[in-house]
A = this chain, B = another copy of it.
Amino acid sequence: MKEIKYKPIGIVHSPFKKTDNAPRQPAYGRGIEATVEIFPEYEEGLINIEKYSHIVLICHFHKSDTKPLKVRPPMEDKLRGVFASRSPNRPNPIGLSIVRLDRVEGRILYIRDVDIIDDTPVLDIKPYIPL
| A interface residues with partner B (beta carbon < 8 Å) | 1, 3-9, 11, 38-39, 42, 44-49, 51-52, 54-56, 58, 60, 69-70, 79-86, 90-92, 94, 96, 98, 121, 123-128, 130-131
Contact = CB atoms under 8 A, between A and B. Distances in A.
Count the copies. Answer: 2
Nearest to A60: B4
A128 B69 CA distance: 18
A85 B49 CA distance: 8
Contacts of A42: 69, 83, 91
A58 B121 contact: no
Contact of A47 (B3, B5, B81): B81
Contacts of A47: 70, 79-81, 84
